Structure 1
Amino acid sequence: MELRQLRYFVEVAEREHVSEAAVALHVAQSAISRQIANLEAELGVELFEREGRNVRLTHIGKIFLTHTKTALKAIDHAKKQIDEYIDPERGSIKIGFPTSLASNFLPSVVSAFKKLHPKIGFQLRQGSYNFLIESVENRELDVAFLGPVFTEHPDIIGDVLFEENFYALVPRSHPLADAKSVDFKELYNEDFVLFPEGFILHQLVIDGCENAGFTPRVTSEGEDLDAIKGLVAAGIGITLLPESAFNDLNSDYSVKVAIKNPELTRTVGLIIPKHRRLAPSEQVFYDFVKYYFANKSR
């Protein structure tokens, strides 16, 4: 069994088309077909069912694909570690982040790190809360920023970097626009603009409102921060967002108001895999981030 056979197999399995896989891999279609046939002969099973020009994984092919992808990720990670032990300053890090940390938090961290380690590269991926967790678990991401961050998980280490408050975002024409703060319970009769159900910021706001004694009336939803801020600016309703989401606020259209009695907060942190050793460049970044925020808090 050869490594190239496994890579050919994965490409064909994901595309379900041999000729498309050949184009993506820049090899002849006949070469891929031959290597797949050799792999099937060695395993003694058929991995694909042929359907005209297309192919479909057999049941055993699906099982083999799952294990093959895991094995290839482990091999790629091992090669990356070897390359980086030779020169740790030329590594590349796959970092995940949520939309709420995209506008200011992530640029400030990455730019500060790049000043010290200019040759280390980044592959950045924005994603939902559950996507980021799963991607660190299955090696799609090396590290990820998360808010809130958990500290107990069977497969992931979570480090809290800081805690931040939520604020109410209200239209400039709203009666609360000139207030320095508002009691949480006073928001019970407002129309809310939130992320859709399933988004972590949706659940945090729902939980916060219920802890304050009411269920929010959600009249509109947006799937990104710009959409939500735009709906608030248009006077559709109010929303609650963590402090790090307010860096690009246009005060001509909407206003940030502190919430008290009770405050609503979340932790922000970094997650890494628990059972896989970080590559040198990843370890350098991980240590930098913890040092960066430890000193910033002082």
Structure 2
Amino acid sequence: MDAGTEPARLAELGPELPAVQLAPLLAQFAAVARLEHVTQAAALLAMPQPTLSRAVARLEAELGVDLLARQGRTVRLTRSGRLLLASVERALAEVERGAEAARAEADPATGRVAFGFLHTMGTDAVPALLRDFRAAYPLVRFQLVQDYVGAMLGRLRAGELDLCLVAPVPDDDPALAARRLDEQRLHLVVPADHRLSGRRRIRLAEVAEEPFVGLEPGYGLRAITDGFCAEAGFVPRIAFEGEEAETLRGLVAAGLGVALLPPALVPRPGVVELEVTAPRTRRAIGLAWAAGRPLTPPAAAFRDFVLSRRGRLLAHD
């Protein structure tokens, strides 16, 4: 290549390329500067001494300054060399901190798992999972995220989460792998003084004209509710929208509508939960992770543990 074309080629490739080219030279220069001896530095780096000497000379040529003053077999830093070494040492220390953080994240015994789950799973199912898993892996750390399904799956695809406990299960997304774990019955929750509150079972079509309270669009339970109402032959008239199941239960208790919700762990005054006989109002709960992206050892261990609880994830009513 004509030497005159090299600066133009570097300019076309943008400002990052010089830094990429300089990075290995800087690490080699730092080794020489620390030991003040080219031969000893070459042995430490497991590279031929002439190759190391050429690398330092190339770095000096790239920067246009003398970094080392040669004195026989030893070298001394010039003023420019001392200034550069201080910055290189800081950069190498930061790289080492990053490498250590990456190693710690993936450590099988003490690494971190980024785990997302539904709000409705956070009361009992997820705490029980974490308690039982930590019995075998007491030092594994967790980043816990509660959000609506669409947001969690987006973060899963982006690599921000390792695993998500979701409903509905994303069976048709090629970017995700998913396994069904359990089913949860959804009850129709009505006010205690509702005309149907004395019943034990109803068909969903019997409340087609009632106002509904539901989660906001984007939440899995909202999509599931809309789907079951469609099966029953109507579109629910949503009077109020919220972000948590217990908030919806409170709205029902206040007489503002009815709702399809998972069973309450503790009975709430002011509402009655009815079994729906048609359609079969059950939602599948599943575990999802990114397809084609390997999990860290702690995340893989937690995934396998959760999958081993298939059919035993929920307290069945």
CA deviations 1:194-239 (Å, max 9, x no partner) are 1123333222212211211122222222222232111111111110
SS at match of 1:150: coil
Look up the match of 1:247. Answer: 265
Q: Is the 8 A contact 1:97 1:146 kept in 2?
A: yes
For residues 4-43 of structure 1, the aligned pairs below 5 Å read 41-42=15-16
| Counterpart for residue 149 of structure 1 | 169
Q: What do residues 157-213 of structure 1 show as CA deviations (whole Å, max 9, x unaligned)?
A: 001001222110111112322321111111112111111233332222122112111
C-alpha displacement of 1:139 = 0.7
Separation of aligned partners in 2, 1:160 and 1:125 = 20
Is 1:180 the equivalent of 2:180? no
Distance 1:149 1:235, change over 3 A: same
Structure 1: which 5+ runs fail to align? 1-39, 45-75
- The one-letter code matched in structure 2 to 1:234 is A
Query: Following the alignment from structure 2 to structure 1, what is the Cα–Cα distance between the partners of residues 157 and 287?
Result: 13
Check conservation: 1:81, 1:280, Cα contact below 8 A: no
Change (3 A) 1:201 1:222: same
Aligned to 1:273: 290
AA of the residue aligned to 1:170: V
1:40-55 to structure 2, matched below 5 A, reads 41-42=15-16
Q: What is the aligned residue count?
A: 225
Q: Which residue of 2 aligns with 1:233?
A: 253
Alignment of 1:1-298 (within 5 A): 41-42=15-16, 82-83=103-104, 87-243=107-263, 246-250=264-268, 252-294=269-311
Contact 1:81 1:279 in 2 (8 A): no
| TM-score (ref. length: structure 1) | 0.69
Contact 2:113/2:299, CA 8 A, preserved across alignment:
yes
The 3-state SS of whatever aligns with 1:88 is coil
Q: Note the C-alpha offset of 1:149.
A: 0.7
User: 1:77 and 1:222, CA in 2 relative to 1: closer, same or farther beyond 3 A?
Assistant: farther
Q: For the aligned residues, what is the CA RMSD?
A: 2.7
List runs of 5+ in structure 2 lacking aligned partners: 1-13, 19-96
Q: C-alpha distance in 2, partners of 1:170/1:78?
A: 55
Could you say which residue in structure 2 is the equivalent of 1:49?
A: none
The CA distance in 2 between the partners of 1:222 and 1:84, in whole Å, is 36
Letter in structure 2 aligned against 1:256: E
**Higher Rg:** 2
Distance 1:295 1:206 in 2: 27
Give the match for residue 27 of structure 1.
none
Residues 89/193 of structure 1: CA separation in 2 closer, same or farther (3 Å cut): same
Kept in 1: contact 2:197–2:272 (CA 8 A): yes
Q: What is the rounded CA distance, in whole Å, between the counterparts of 2:305 and 2:291 in structure 1?
A: 18
**Counterpart amino acid of residue 276 in structure 1:** R
CA distance in 1, matches of 2:312, 2:244: 31
Whether the 8 Å contact between 1:120 and 1:281 is mirrored in structure 2 is: yes
Under a length normalisation based on structure 2, what TM-score does the superposition of the two structures give?
Answer: 0.65
